[in-house]
Amino acid sequence: MTNDAADNMAAELALGLLEGEERAEALRRQLSDPAFAREVERWRDHFATLFPQVPSEEPPASLEARVLAANDPGPVTSRWWKPAALLATAALAVVSTVMLTSPDPVAPVEQPASPTLVAAFDVVGLDQPKVAIYDPDDARLTMPGPMPIPDGHNAQLWVSVDGETPRPLGTFSAVKGGVAAVAESDLPAGTEMMITFEPVGQPVTEPTGDTVAEGVLTTV
């Protein structure tokens, strides 16, 4: 047996490709030939490096037929095709095992983060502005609190885009660390905002109370 043939046999035995008399011959040689036995172990170690992160999994019954069909060289008498078949078999085994064990073979597409918009509100009676954060994903405007609201009134948020007449959005309510009002999910930078105190229960179509805070959305 030539060195190449012996090397191929060792690789085939390491992969478990041999059957019948070929496998019996390889096992006898592994027991009687230390150099051949070392070659089998070398191939086993080599193929083991292909599977360090793949857990054990029972392949489907149809896998063997698919492997044999993929590696069928046609009617040949020589074994020159075996090295290529070994590589194809190893690659197919890796792919098949990953497909069996991966819960979701499609990698998630990372979505770009929405820009952060803030509004520095000039609040009546305060020397420093209050910076509110607008979250377009939650359609919410959050401002550090507390906000002193007169009895019988709501703190109403108004917005004006491109100089349009101010329209009402949500009213502010207490949240952890401040107050928040429902806004909209598509307010652009440059949106003018204002807050007024409006009587509870009164339909809100336009501001009736004094403006207690004003600010403009800005991208940061």
Assess whether pLDDT exceeds 60 at residue 54. Answer: no
- Identify the pLDDT of residue 157: 95
Percent of the chain with pLDDT over 90: 21
At 74-116, the pLDDT tens digits run: 554 444 445 445 545 554 554 444 444 444 444 455 555 556 7
193: left (phi over 0), alpha (psi -120 to 50) or beta: beta
State residue 88 phi and psi, 5-degree precision: -65, -40
Residue in 155, 98, 94, 93 with CA at minimum distance from that of residue 124: 155
DSSP H helical ranges for 53-201:
63-70, 82-101
Full-model pTM? 0.48
Assess whether pLDDT exceeds 70 at residue 159. Answer: yes
